[in-house]
Amino acid sequence: MTPCRLGTSVTCPVLLQHTLTGHSGKVLSARFLLDNARIVSGSYDRTLKLWDLRSKVCMKTVFAGSSCNDIVCTEQCVMSGHFDKKVRFWDIRAESIVREMELLGRVTSLDLNHDRTELLTCSRDDLLKIIDLRSNAVRQTLSAQGFKCGADWTRVTFSPDGSYVIGGSADGALYIWNVLTGKVDRVLDRNHNSAINSVSWSPSGTYVVSVEKGSRAILWSDV
C-alpha cells in the first residue's frame, strides 16, 4: 500500500436538506437505517434518538445510560458502543435492550462486515474484537505490539470483503490484520505525525483514507 496525494478539490453546491435538533450534548455518531428514511443518532447526553427524515421529527428517544461513541444498524437491530465499556443491542421498535456485552475498555468504534453477520469493536484497552452475531460470541481478538487506541472516538473498519481489518494507532501507524489468521499483515508507519483518529476503506477496496489528530488526511492506494 502506498500513500498518494489527494487531488485538487472541486467546489460543488451542497443544499441543506434538514436540521435535526434535540440532543442536549455532542452528537458522536449517526447512521441511516436500511430503509434510508430514518436515522439513529448517539450522543454524549447518553441517549439514542430515532429520526424520521420524511416528517423531520424525532420518533423515539432511548436513554442508554452512558455516552454513546458509535452506532451500527442491521435490519432488525441497532448496536451502540459506550463509554461504560458496553456494547448494547437494541430492538428499536420496542425501545428496549435485547442484550449487552461488556468489554475491558471504553468502546470507541463499531463496524459490520459486508453481510452483517460479524461486528467489529475497538476499545481503549487496545483490543479489537470480532463478534459473531449469529452465536453472540467473540470469534476473534486482534491486537499488536505497538498498537494503541488513541482516543474515545478512534474508528476502525473491515475491508469491503471482510477479509481484513484496519485501524490507526496513537503513534500514527496504520495496522492491517488478516481476519482469517488473526495476525498483523502490514504496519504502515512513516507518513502520519500524530494519532490516527479514523480510517475508511473505499467500496471498491482499492483505496484507504486515514485521518490524523493533526488535521491531515492521507489517501492510500494499491491496497
Any domain includes 71: yes
**CA–CA distance, 220 with 209 (Å, rounded to integer):** 6
Contact, 128 vs 120, CB < 8 A? yes
The enclosing domain of 139 has a CATH number of 2.130.10.10
77 and 141 housed in the same domain: no
- Which three cell numbers mark 159? 475491508
> In the chain, how many domains are there?
2
Residues 91/154/136/102 CA torsion (nearest 10 deg): -90
| Predicted pLDDT of residue 202 | 94
How much is the mean pLDDT over the chain?
90
| Predicted pLDDT of residue 151 | 93
Query: Whole-prediction pTM value?
Result: 0.90
DSSP state for residue 190 in the 8-state scheme: S
Burial group, residue 164, by CB count within 10 angstroms (0-12, 13-18, 19+): buried
Residue-range definition of the domain harbouring residue 206: 109-223
Q: What pLDDT, in 10s, does the model give residues 26-39?
A: 999 999 988 888 99
Longest dimension (CA), the chain: 49
Domain end point (choices 83, 102, 121): 102
Residue 118 pLDDT greater than 50, yes or no: yes
Rounded average pLDDT over 164-169: 96
144 and 75 housed in the same domain: no
